[in-house]
Structures are given as C-alpha cells and as structure tokens.
Amino acid sequence: MAINYIYPEYEVVRNYDRCISCRVCERQCANLVHHYDTKRGKMICDESKCVACHRCVALCPTRALKIVKSDHTFKENANWTGEKITNIYRQAESGGVLLASMGTPKNYPVYWDKILINASQVTNPSIDPLREPMETKVFLGHKNDKIVRDQYGRIKCDETPQLELQVPVMFSAMSYGSISYNAHKSLAMASKKLGIYYNTGEGGLHEDFYEYGPNTIVQIASGRFGVHPDYLKAGAALEIKMGQGAKPGIGGHLPGAKIVGDVSKTRMIPEGSDAISPAPHHDIYSIEDLRQLVYTLKEATNYTKPVIVKIAAVHNVSAIASGVARSGADIIAIDGFRGGTGAAPAAIRDNVGIPIELALASVDKRLRDEGIRNDVSLVVGGSIRSSADIVKAIALGADAVYIATSALIALGCHLCRSCHSGRCNWGIATQRPDLVKRLNPEIGSEKLVNLIHAWQHEIKEMMGGMGINSIEALRGNRAMLRGIGLTREELDILGIKHAGE
C-alpha cells in the first residue's frame, strides 16, 4: 500500500561528467545500490538501499559520487518528526521491534563537551613532554590498602593480579560474530604492539588468536558462548558482562544467519542456530550471587587473573558499583548510554541509561565516600571520542577508558549504523568473506596504533600543560576541570566548579 512508502533518507548524487562507468561503485556496494544500465549505457542507482556508508564515494576513481541528505520532507512538525512518522509506518507494516546499531544518534547532552581542562601559568610551571619523561602507564586491579614488604624490606608488588597498560585505553568488548575475523585480528595485533588489551566480547576466542592471550580480555556473558577452561586460561583478565550501555537491561541476540563457519566453531554452537544471551545471568540475582561467579572464575584460574565486572550506566549506578566493588571484582567497567552496539532495539538504545560522565563522577565519589575506591579500578566507556575525553574521564576519577566505536572508525567504519544488516562494506561488522577481506589486519592494526599513539601524545601535552607528569596524579583530580554552561546540579554531580569560579 502506498502509505508504507518511505522516501529514501539519502540521495546518491552522481556527476555524469565525471563518471566513466567503471562500475567500481557497483562492485563495492553490498547493499546493491548501484548498477549499470546496459540499454542506456550508464550507471544508475537505487538510493532507497543506500545506508550512507561512503564506500562507493571513497573508492570512486573520478570523485563522481557524493551522498546527500534528502531534502524531501513531511510537513514540518517539531513534535511529529519525519523519523517518528516513518517508524510508525514501518512498525504498522511489520509488527516488529525497531532494530538499530551503534550508539544513540539522539541529541542528548555530551558532558565531555561542557567540561574544560586547566593549564598552568606562571606559578606551577607546565612540563614539555618532548624533553621530560611523562608517565601514561597505569595498573588496573585491586590495590592493597597497606604496603607489604618481603624479608629484605622490599615492597611486594604482585600481591594481587594487575593489568599493565602503557596508555590508559583498552579496546572494549566486540564479539567475533558481531565484527569480523579481520577486525578482531586488527584489534589483537594493535593491542600487542601498544601494550594494552582488547576484549573478545561474548562470542568466544578464535583459535588463531590464542597467541594474543597476554593482550586479551576474555568475556563471560549469560549465554557463556565459547567459554571453557582453556578460554579462561588464555586471557590476561576475565570480564563478566552484566550489562551494556547501548542496551541496559536487555541481552544479546546474534541471529542464526550470522552463526556461520568459524563463528559457529568459536561460539561452539551449531551453524544457523540463534545465539541468545538473555539480559540476566540466571544464576545471579544478588551481589552475593555475583560474588559466587567472580570467585568461581578466580578459583578456576587459581587467582592469577583480575576479574572485571562490566555494568551499564543506569540510574542507581553508584549503589550498584558499590555492591560490585564488594563482590570481589578487581575492576569495574561502566558503559555509558551513548556506547555502541552491533544491534539493539532502538527504543532501548535511545532511551535507557545515563551518560557516562555523570555515572563516572557519581561512582567515583560513592566509592571514595565508602572508603573502597582502591579496592577496584574503574574503566569507563560509552563514547570516548578523543584524547580530551580521556583526560576528562581520568580527572573525573577513571583509571582507564574503553573504546570501541573510535577503534572501529580507525578501521574505516563510517558510522552508517547498519551493523545489524551484516552487509558492512568496510569489512568490519560482517561475516561475508568477500566483504571481510576488504579489511587488511596489517593496515588496520597500524591505524589503531597510530590513533592511540597520537592520543597518547595529546594526553601528555595536556598533562604537561597542567604541570602533571604522571597520569596517576591526574586521576580524580577534579580541580583540573571546569564546567561550561552547566547547571549547579550538574556541576554538583560532576563534582567540578564552573568556569571562572
């Protein structure tokens, strides 16, 4: 019926003066937007299939293509936007839940952009990172509350297992299945070169990547896919996934169509069968139950690896984090509601959870107030977009950050938010061999290394500007931050002053 007709959101503009009908765009587009019309002797396109991923634009040898947002519009209405109207058409047609990918595109406040960083002038000299040593190394894990010495009086450092990071950044959980083999390989190789860690997500660890074990965090989610003793032993740390910022309170579901070949083998479920990770772990209904899983993992690995508990940033996150800190977890990872996902119901992604900045500030304060901040390290994610975001996160109290979307962008992701289709033209969120091979892990890992090195340099510059030469001295140093355009309430929650105060 005509009422279901949805005008394409993007238009493909082709400059026919430049187009040489080489058909690269046709070959590159897994969404089948372009094709060659032999009768008319020219390239034509079906823009209704276009997801604005820019693959064709980037590979067009004559720069004949661009993607523009359509100016086709409904009668303007601030309440009933075109998006709201078309979503109703879609759901009235299918009866299905709206499925979306990546972090919410909605216009929620980004507090990072409303926080400014301090610098020294005159009295406390700034430091030049080019000529003076600057320490960006951090250790994540439970810290003993008192110093223990051996018989020779030397400090014993290895009382509790720690993760050692050369830069306070880790690649956060993305499962093999949600992203490709080559994407995983790029992350693994980069982590090794950078002296940091990547995270398997809940889809198990491909046998080829066991060699990257010392730089791997293995995840355990409710579905326990690909979880067995060798997997636990392979990782440098174990992460229990309780929640994800993009979809707090709901679980994961990798459709059977993506459970093919090695994905099936790595998850240890038959090809074509759905991989269902429900929201709750059905053996965890309390902090005591969580403690049981934490200690099951510690016992299974002989207390040699730190255990991370990952939770989504939700309204009572500080009380929850306080409980988690008492569960025996060594590290708490908090994922903010702008965090990415390979697939989530849009209603959840766009409406559930709270921003990571507020969650972090409130958790850090709560743990300090309760005197248990040093029992755990705090890792935050959920849209860390730049080195400045990292500096602000650390000054708000984080030990390190988790990045995923930024890492994928470094690998070529253009944030078209169509991961759930499985037709990623950049070879990242797909299992189609012809698409996967478009991502070269050697080049991909190099780009990741470049990004983190660039950020590390910027972090050092900003630290130097503040007169701080060790990232440890920046952690929780909220005096280095000022809010801009924030209300008294927001400033109170963030625990910072307003600019000019």
Site for other proteins in 357-416 (CB under 8 A): none
Of 15, 48, 77, 91, the residue at the interface with other proteins (CB under 8 A) is 91
Q: Does 420 bind other proteins (CB under 8 A)?
A: yes
Q: CA 209 → CA 85, 275, 473, distances in Å?
A: 46, 21, 35
Q: Does 447 bind other proteins (CB under 8 A)?
A: no
Instruction: Extract the tokens encoding 165.
Output: 């990071």
Q: Does 346 bind other proteins (CB under 8 A)?
A: yes
Cβ pair 264, 334 in contact under 8 A: no
Q: Does 260 bind other proteins (CB under 8 A)?
A: no
Cβ pair 195, 206 in contact under 8 A: no
Whether residue 29 is annotated as binding a ligand: the answer is: yes
Whether residue 45 is annotated as binding a ligand: the answer is: no
In the complex, what is the shortest distance from the CB of residue 401 to other proteins, in angstroms, rounded to a whole number? 29
Please give the single-letter amino acid code of residue 245.
Answer: G
Q: Does 270 bind other proteins (CB under 8 A)?
A: yes
Q: What are phi and psi of 49, to 5 degrees?
A: -95, -5
Extended beta strands in 251-391, E state = 252-254, 275-277, 307-312, 331-335, 344-345, 377-381
Of 32, 88, 97, 130, the residue at the interface with other proteins (CB under 8 A) is 97
Whether residue 19 is annotated as binding a ligand: the answer is: yes
Name the segment binding other proteins (CB under 8 A); options: 52-60, 84-92, 149-157, 310-318. Answer: 84-92
d(CA 57, CA 14): 10
Q: Does 96 bind other proteins (CB under 8 A)?
A: yes
What does the DSSP assignment read for 427-490? SSSB--HHHHTTS-HHHHHHHHHHHHHHHHHHHHHHHHHHT--BGGGTTT-GGGEEESS--HHH
Q: CA 453 → CA 128, 172, 293, 384, 441, distances in Å?
A: 17, 18, 36, 16, 18
d(CA 61, CA 20): 9
In the complex, what is the shortest distance from the CB of residue 309 to other proteins, in angstroms, rounded to a whole number? 17
In the complex, what is the shortest distance from the CB of residue 482 to other proteins, in angstroms, rounded to a whole number? 39
In the complex, what is the shortest distance from the CB of residue 340 to other proteins, in angstroms, rounded to a whole number? 16
- Cα-trace Rg, the chain: 24
Instruction: Extract the tokens encoding 430.
Output: 């797909």
Of 128, 274, 369, 442, the residue at the interface with other proteins (CB under 8 A) is 274
**Between 224 and 457, CB nearer to other proteins:** 224
Q: Does 300 bind other proteins (CB under 8 A)?
A: yes
In the complex, what is the shortest distance from the CB of residue 433 to other proteins, in angstroms, rounded to a whole number? 22
Instruction: Extract the tokens encoding 236.
Output: 């440098």
Q: Does 99 bind other proteins (CB under 8 A)?
A: yes
In the complex, what is the shortest distance from the CB of residue 67 to other proteins, in angstroms, rounded to a whole number? 18
Q: Does 32 bind other proteins (CB under 8 A)?
A: no
Binding string, residues 301-340; x marks residues near other proteins by CB under 8 A: xx--------------------------------------
Name the segment binding other proteins (CB under 8 A); options: 166-174, 273-281, 366-374, 392-400. Answer: 273-281
In the complex, what is the shortest distance from the CB of residue 223 to other proteins, in angstroms, rounded to a whole number? 6
What does the DSSP assignment read for 232-292? HHHSSEEEEE---TTSTT--EEE-GGG--HHHHHHHTS-TT--EEE-SS-TT-SSHHHHHH
In the complex, what is the shortest distance from the CB of residue 228 to other proteins, in angstroms, rounded to a whole number? 4
Whether residue 413 is annotated as binding a ligand: the answer is: no
**Between 151 and 302, CB nearer to other proteins:** 302
Q: CA 30 → CA 54, 368, 434, distances in Å?
A: 12, 51, 10
Strand ranges of the sheet holding 497-498, from the earlier edge strand across to the other edge: 115-117, 481-483, 497-498
Looking at 103-239, list the stretches that DSSP marks H as alpha helix, in order from N- to C-terminal side.
181-194, 229-234
Q: Does 160 bind other proteins (CB under 8 A)?
A: no
Whether residue 53 is annotated as binding a ligand: the answer is: yes
Residues near 240 by beta carbon (within 8 Å), at least 6 away in sequence:
219, 220, 221, 281, 290, 293, 294, 297, 307, 308, 309, 310, 329
Whether residue 419 is annotated as binding a ligand: the answer is: no
Please give the single-letter amino acid code of residue 348.
Answer: I
In the complex, what is the shortest distance from the CB of residue 267 to other proteins, in angstroms, rounded to a whole number? 8
d(CA 278, CA 270): 18
Of 49, 66, 224, 385, the residue at the interface with other proteins (CB under 8 A) is 224
Q: Does 211 bind other proteins (CB under 8 A)?
A: no
Name the segment binding other proteins (CB under 8 A); options: 94-102, 115-123, 157-165, 171-179. Answer: 94-102
Helix 317-325 vs helix 287-300: angle between axes, to the nearest 10 degrees?
Answer: 40
C-alpha distance across the termini of the chain, in Å: 61
Q: Does 100 bind other proteins (CB under 8 A)?
A: yes
Whether residue 50 is annotated as binding a ligand: the answer is: yes
Of 22, 98, 260, 493, the residue at the interface with other proteins (CB under 8 A) is 98
Residues within the annotated binding site for [4Fe-4S] cluster? Answer: 19, 22, 25, 29, 50, 53, 56, 60
Which residues contact other proteins by CB under 8 A? 87, 90-91, 93-100, 222-225, 227-229, 232, 253, 255-256, 264-265, 268-270, 272-274, 276, 278, 282-283, 292, 295-296, 299-302, 345-346, 420-421
Can you say which residues are annotated as belonging to the binding site?
A: 19, 22, 25, 29, 50, 53, 56, 60
